[in-house]
Structure 1
Amino acid sequence: MPKQRGLWPFVFYIIVLLASVAALWGTLRLGGGLAESSTPQLAATSGARAFDDFTASVQHHLQSTIGLLLIQILVILMAARMMGWIFRKLRQPAVIGEIVAGILLGPSLFGRLAPEAFTTIFPSESLPNVQLLSNFGLILFMFVVGMELRLSDIRRQLKGSLIISHSGIFLPFVLSLPLSYTIYTEYAASYTGFVPFALFIGIAMSITAFPVLARIIQENNLLRTHLGKLSLSTAAAGDITAWLMLAAIIAISGSGSLLSTGYNLLFLIVYLLLMFGLIRPLFRAAGKVYNNTEVISHGMVGVIFILLLLSSIITELLSMHALFGAFMLGLVMPEDLSFRKIITDKVEDVALLLFLPLFFVSSGLQTELGLIDSPEMWILLGLFTLVAVVGKVGGTYIAARACGESPKNSIYLGAFMNTRGLMELVVLGIGYEMRILPPAIYAVLVLMTVITTVMTMPMVHFINWVNKILERRHDRIEQLDKASGLKVLLSFGRPSSGVTLLRLTDQLLRRGEVHPHVTALHITTDQDINSIDADKYFADSFGPILAEAEQLAQPIETSYQISDKVESTILTKLVQERYNLLIVGAGVRFSSEADDQEAVSMREEMRRRVGAFSVHTTEALLSIHGMLRDKMQFFIDRAPCSVGILVSRCFETPREIVLYLARQEDLRMLPYARTMAQNNGTQLQLVVSEQLQHEGLTLHEGERIVSQQLQTLPEGCELAIISGELWQDTFERNKALLASLPSTLILNIK
C-alpha cells in the first residue's frame, strides 16, 4: 500500500467533520418549526432545575430493575470477597466466609442494624430476580461439581469407597429419624407431611460437600496420598449416592400419589440409562478427539450448554429438580483432564465468583437467626449438630476400620466427611423452596451447616497435633534412617525449569552410577483451584521432569503442593524432612526469558517514577509481587541445609566450567565443581583470590588457575560457580558482569 503523505488526510477529516456539524444544525433548525408532540423537547433551564432533573434521573435508574440488580450484585460480591478473605486468614475455606456473608446481609444482622438501608437495597419485590440468577448459577455450579467427580477415581477404590461413604450416609440418616419424629408435630405439621420432612432432615444430616472437601485436601497437601485419594473417592461416591437419594426423595415429596411417584422413579431410571448408555459414550469419543488440543470449538461448547439445559429441564419436569440434571451431565463428561479443564475454566469462575455469592445471600435472606430465640431452639441446634457429627464421624470411622484402614486414617476420614458446606445449603434451599422445611428448622440447619463445616479444620489440626506427639520418636528414627544418603530437594516453577535443574543436579552430584535421592517439588500458588485443575497442573508440571529423569536414569520422587507462601512452604519441607541440599532457580529477576527481562525493567522504571512502596502495593493487588521478589537471599539466610541457585542462560552441558574461590570457606565448593567437571568430561578452571593463591592451592590433574581477578569472566566460560557471599559483594552489584553473565551456579555450603 502506498504511503500517504502531505496534509490531505487531515483536510479530508476537517471537511467531513464540518459537513456533519452543518447537517446536524440544519436538521435541528428545520425540526424546530414542527408541531410539538408528546416527546420531551430539550429546553434551557436554570442550574438548580437542571441539577434536580439530573438527580431525579439518577434516582429513576437506581430504582429500575437493572439498576437495583447491579447494586445488589456489587454489594453481595464485595461482602463475599471480604468475608472469604477473613475466613481464609483464619485457615478456613473461603466458601464458609461467603456463606457467613450471605447470612450477615440478610435480616439476621443487616436487616436489624440498618432496616431502612436493608429494604432500600433488598426490597422484597426484587428478591425473585436475585433468586432466579442464583438458581441459574447453581445449575452451572452443579455441572462443575459433577465434572470434579470422576468415576474412574471411585472405581479404583470402589469397595472401600462405597462401604465407607454409605456408612457415613446411612448412620446419620437413621439417627435423625427419631429427632424428626420428636419435633415434627410442633414445628412442621402445618407445612408438610411427616415422610417428606423426615426424609429431607435425614439427607441434610448425611451429605458431604465434595468441592469444599477437595480444597481442604489440597490445602493439607494430601491430594496424591492414599488418605487424600480415599477421602475424595469416598466423598465422590457419597455425593452420587446422596444426590440419587435426594432425587428420589424429591420425587416422593412432589408427587400426589404412590403411583405418580412410581412413574417419576421409572422415568428417572430411563433418564439415567440414556445418560450413561448414550450420552457418556458419545462424550468419551469426543474427549479422545479433543485430548491433544488446547481449545474446544464454540460449536462443541454450545452443544454442551444445550445438553446442560435439556438435562436440567428433564429432571425438573420429573419433579427431581433441575440441579440434579446439571449434576448428572457433569458426571458423564469425558474424563480426559484436558477436556474437563477447558470446560471448567469456561464455567467455574463465573459460577463461583458471580452466581454463587448470589445464592449465599439468597439463602441468607431466607435465614432468620432471630427465630432461634429460646433455650428449646438452642437445645435443638445442639441436638442436630451432635447427631450430624456423631453420625458422620462415627459411621465413617467404624466403616473405615472395618475396611482395614488404620485408626489414624479412619479418624481423618471421619473429620473430612463431616464437611457439609455449600452442598448442604443447596439441599436445604430445595427443602425450603418446596415448603418442606419450616423457617425455624431451616435456620437451625443452616447454622448447623456452618458449625460442622467450620469444625473440620480445627478437628484436622487437633488430630495432627495428637499424632505428632504420639509419633515424634518414630519420626525421628525414620528421618535419621533417610538421612544416610544425600537428599536433594529440587523446587521448580515452570516445567522447563524443572528439566534444567534436574540436569544440573545430575551433573553436580552423580558419582558414577550412584545417584542422589532427589525430590522434585512444584507449588501452585492459587489455592482456589479444583481437583481437575490440580491433576492437570501436576501432569503438565511433572511430565517433562519425569521424562528427563528416565533419560538420565535418575530416581526421583514428586511432591505437589498448593500454597500461597512459596518460600515458607519450601522451608518447612526442608526442616521436616531433613534435606542436605536445596536446588532452585534464580527466579524472574535473573531470567533470560524476554518477557521476564521486560517485566523486571518495567518494574525498575515504575520504581523510579512512583517509588518502591507504590510499586509493591500495586504488585500485591495484581498478585505478582511474590513472583518478582528476590527469593535468593531468603534461602541462603534461612535454609537449614546447603543451597544451590541456578541463574540459567540456556543451561545444557557446559564445556567450560569456572570456579571462583575468594575465601578459605569457598574451598567447600571444590568437590562439587570437580564432580561436575568429571561428569561433563571437561577441564575445571579456577579464579582464585590473592589470599588463597599465597596460601597455596593443590590442583588436580586437568585443573588450572586462569585469573586472580574476581571481577573478571574468562573467555569461553559456559558455567560459573560462585559462593553466595561473592555473588552479593561483586556480581549482583556489577551491571557489566550481570549483562555478560553465563549460566551461574550460586552455592552456599553449610
Structure 2
Amino acid sequence: MPFAPSGLRPGVVVAFVLLDIVIILIAARLCGAAARKVGQPAVVGEIVAGILLGPTLLGPKLFELANPPDFLHCDVSNPATTADGSPFVASVSSCLFPAQARGVLGLLGQVALVFFMFLVGIEVNARTLKGKEKGIGLVSVGAVLVPVALAFVIAPILWNSDFVPGFGTDASPNRLGFTLFVGALLSVTAFPVMARILQEKGLTTSPMGATGIAAAGVVTILMFLIIASADGVAKEKDLLDIGRVWVIAAIYIAVMLLVVKRLLAPLGRSYARTGKLSPDAFALFIGVAVASGYVADRIGINVIVGGFIAGLVIPEPRPEMWRELTNRIGEFTAVILLPIFLAFSGLNTDFTALTAAAVPGIIVLVVAGIVGKLVGGAVFARLGGLSWAEGRVIGVLMNCRGLLVLVAALVAVEAGAISPLLQLGGVVMALVTTAMTGPLFDTSVAQLNTPGTEAEPEPEPAP
C-alpha cells in the first residue's frame, strides 16, 4: 500500500486522541497493578506500559500491517518514507498512535508535569527546612557535581555512532554539549517519588527527610539549568547567552518567591477564615501554575520546574491547601494525565533498535548513574551533618530516576544532542534505578533503627 504524508483531518485526530487515551489508561492500570504485585511502585509498570504500546512490542518487527484497515487511516497519517529514506512500514503502533495524535498526547503530558509538580511544591513545608541550609546545599551539590564529573569520565566511551546523532559529520553536536547532556541524565533525581516514599514512611519531617526533599528540589532546578546550558553549548551559542539563562532563571525564582508569594498571601488568609477555596482562588492558583510553567519553559529550564516553583509560593495554611487542591486535581493528574506522558515517552522508545554494540555503552551509563548518586548523596549528606545511615538513605532516594530522566532524555533527543539509542539508555536507567529503590530503601531505613543512629522522625510542626 502506498503512503502519502497528507495528514489526518482535525476531527479524525480528535478521535484518535480519545481512542489513544483509552488504550493508554487500560495499559497503565494493568501494568501498574502488575508492578505493585511484585513489590514495585506503579510508575514502573506505567513506564513499561508506554514501552509496550510503542514500536518495541507493537512495531513493524512484530506487528507489521501489510494492509491496514481503512478506519485506521494509515495511508494519510504516516509518511511514505522514514527519516533515513527507507520505505515506511505500517504497524499496530504507528497506526493506532499516528504522529498528529502523538503531538496532542505530548502536550497533555506536559500539562500533567506542571500540575503534578505543582502539588509536590505545595507539599514542601518550609518550617522543616530551617537550620538545615548547610545539609541541603551540600547534598544538592554532591548529587549533581559527582554525576556530572562522571559524565566527563564516560563521555569518551559513549562518543560513537551509536549514541551521537550525525557522528563524524557537520551535523553532529558539540562534544562538550553532548557530555553535559549525559551529565544531566546522570544527575536526575525523581523528586516526586522521593517525596512520596518519605511521606509514606513518616520521615518527611525528620532531619534526613527534610534535607533530602529540599535537596531534590534544588537538584531538579540545577539539572534543567545544566540541560539548558548543554543545549546552548551543543548549538554553539556564546557564553553570554548561556550565562543569561542562569541569570534569568535566578530572577524568575526570586520574583516568584519574594513577590508572587506575597501577592497570594491574602488568599491564604481568606482560606484560613472560611475553610473553603473559592472558584476564583482555585482558578488563580491554577493560572499561576500554568503561567509559571510557561515562563520556565521559555527560559529553558522546563515546565516541571515552573510547576514546582508555583507550588512553593502557595500561601499558608499550606497543608490544608495541599489537601484541597489534591482533592480537586491530584487524582486526575496522577491517574489520567501522568500515564499519558509516560506512554508518550514509550512511544518514542524502540528496544528493537538496540544492538549488541550499544549494550556496553548503556551499561556504562546506568552504572555511572547509580554510583554517582549513591556516592554523591551519601558522602555529601554526611558532610552536611547527617549520619552515615541517613546519608545512605538519601543516596538511595537520590538514585531513583522515575519519570524525570525520561523528560531529560526527551529534551536531549529533541535538541539533536543524543541519539534515540542513548534515550533508550535513559529509559533503562529509569526502570533499573526506580525498581531498585524500594528494596534498597527498606534495607537502609532498617539501619536507622539500630543503636547509634537517628531513628525517630521529628513530630510534624503545628500549623
Q: TM-score range by the shorter chain?
A: 0.7 to 0.9
Q: Cα deviations across residues 570-597 of structure 1 (Å, max 9, x unaligned)?
A: xxxxxxxxxxxxxxxxxxxxxxxxxxxx
**Matched residue of 1:444: which SS?**
helix
Compare 215-224 and 349-358 and name the one that shifted more. Answer: 215-224
Residues of 2 paired with 1:313 and 1:233: CA distance? 23
Residues of 1 paired with 2:290 and 2:441: CA distance? 39
For the aligned residues, what is the CA RMSD? 3.0
Q: Cα deviations across residues 144-189 of structure 1 (Å, max 9, x unaligned)?
A: 3333334443334221122123212211111111212332243324
Counterpart of 1:114 in structure 2 is 63
Residues of 2 paired with 1:320 and 1:221: CA distance? 31
Aligned counterpart in structure 2 of residue 369 of structure 1, from 329, 351, 357:
351
The answer to whether 1:355 aligns with 2:333 is no
Residues of 1 paired with 2:11 and 2:257: CA distance? 48
The answer to whether 1:308 aligns with 2:289 is yes
The answer to whether 1:409 aligns with 2:390 is yes
Q: How does 1:513-524 map onto structure 2 within 5 Å?
A: none
Q: 1:61 to 1:170 in 2, by over 3 A?
A: closer
1:377 shift after superposition: 1.7
1:113 shift after superposition: 3.6
CA contact (8 A) 1:396 1:417 kept: yes
1:363 shift after superposition: 0.4
Q: 1:225 to 1:428 in 2, by over 3 A?
A: same
Q: Cα deviations across residues 221-254 of structure 1 (Å, max 9, x unaligned)?
A: 4345444344333333433443444455456556
- In the superposition, the TM-score normalised over structure 1's length comes to 0.51
CA contact (8 A) 1:196 1:249 kept: yes
CA contact (8 A) 2:224 2:301 kept: no
CA contact (8 A) 1:157 1:233 kept: no
Residues of 1 paired with 2:216 and 2:193: CA distance? 11
Q: Cα deviations across residues 274-328 of structure 1 (Å, max 9, x unaligned)?
A: 2222102222343233224332111122222333333333333334444433332
1:386 shift after superposition: 1.3
Counterpart of 1:142 in structure 2 is 117
Counterpart of 1:199 in structure 2 is 180
Counterpart residue identity of residue 277, structure 1: L
1:191 shift after superposition: 4.1
Structure number, greater radius of gyration: 1
Residues of 1 paired with 2:368 and 2:188: CA distance? 13
Q: How does 1:164-243 map onto structure 2 within 5 Å?
A: 164-186=139-161, 187-188=163-164, 189=167, 190-243=171-224
CA contact (8 A) 2:292 2:310 kept: yes
Q: Cα deviations across residues 19-62 of structure 1 (Å, max 9, x unaligned)?
A: xxxxxxxxxxxxxxxxxxxxxxxxxxxxxxxxxxxxxxxxx999
CA contact (8 A) 1:210 1:239 kept: yes
Counterpart of 2:105 in structure 1 is 130
1:263 shift after superposition: 4.0
1:392 shift after superposition: 0.8
**Matched residue of 2:309: which SS?**
helix
CA contact (8 A) 2:55 2:350 kept: yes
Residues of 2 paired with 1:141 and 1:172: CA distance? 26
Residues of 1 paired with 2:295 and 2:150: CA distance? 33
Q: 1:397 to 1:265 in 2, by over 3 A?
A: closer
More helix by share: 2
CA contact (8 A) 1:401 1:410 kept: yes
**Matched residue of 1:91: which SS?**
coil
Q: Gapped runs of 5+ residues in structure 1? A: 1-59, 476-533, 544-750
1:208 shift after superposition: 1.1
**Matched residue of 1:64: which SS?**
helix
The answer to whether 1:267 aligns with 2:230 is no
The answer to whether 1:329 aligns with 2:310 is yes
Compare 251-260 and 127-136 and name the one that shifted more. Answer: 251-260
Residues of 2 paired with 1:254 and 1:322: CA distance? 21
Q: How does 1:456-605 map onto structure 2 within 5 Å?
A: 456-463=437-444
1:360 shift after superposition: 0.8
Aligned counterpart in structure 1 of residue 403 of structure 2, from 414, 422, 437:
422
Counterpart of 1:95 in structure 2 is 43
Counterpart residue identity of residue 355, structure 2: D
CA contact (8 A) 1:131 1:362 kept: yes
Compare 70-79 and 258-267 and name the one that shifted more. Answer: 258-267
CA contact (8 A) 1:209 1:422 kept: yes
1:395 shift after superposition: 1.5
More strand by share: 1
CA contact (8 A) 1:83 1:100 kept: yes
Q: Gapped runs of 5+ residues in structure 2? A: 1-7, 66-91, 453-458
Q: Cα deviations across residues 337-379 of structure 1 (Å, max 9, x unaligned)?
A: 11233223322222211111111111001111123221x3221
Q: 1:80 to 1:299 in 2, by over 3 A?
A: same
Q: 1:321 to 1:163 in 2, by over 3 A?
A: closer
Residues of 2 paired with 1:61 and 1:262: CA distance? 43
Residues of 2 paired with 1:466 and 1:152: CA distance? 27
Residues of 1 paired with 2:37 and 2:407: CA distance? 26
Q: Cα deviations across residues 178-206 of structure 1 (Å, max 9, x unaligned)?
A: 21233224332444222322112112111
Q: 1:256 to 1:402 in 2, by over 3 A?
A: closer
- Greater relative contact order structure (CA < 8 Å, 6+ sep): 2
1:211 shift after superposition: 1.1
Aligned counterpart in structure 2 of residue 81 of structure 1, from 17, 29, 33:
29
CA contact (8 A) 2:58 2:93 kept: yes
Counterpart residue identity of residue 364, structure 1: G
Residues of 2 paired with 1:382 and 1:65: CA distance? 39
Across the two proteins, how many residue pairs are aligned to each other? 416
Q: 1:253 to 1:121 in 2, by over 3 A?
A: same
**Matched residue of 1:290: which SS?**
helix
Counterpart of 1:155 in structure 2 is 130
CA contact (8 A) 1:251 1:319 kept: no
1:74 shift after superposition: 0.6
Q: 1:125 to 1:275 in 2, by over 3 A?
A: closer
Counterpart of 2:261 in structure 1 is 280
Q: Cα deviations across residues 108-138 of structure 1 (Å, max 9, x unaligned)?
A: 1122443433333223343222222222222
CA contact (8 A) 1:371 1:443 kept: no
1:460 shift after superposition: 2.7
Q: Percent identity?
A: 28
1:220 shift after superposition: 3.6
Counterpart residue identity of residue 175, structure 1: L
Counterpart residue identity of residue 34, structure 2: I
Q: 1:221 to 1:113 in 2, by over 3 A?
A: farther
Residues of 2 paired with 1:209 and 1:390: CA distance? 16
CA contact (8 A) 1:381 1:444 kept: yes
CA contact (8 A) 2:225 2:300 kept: no
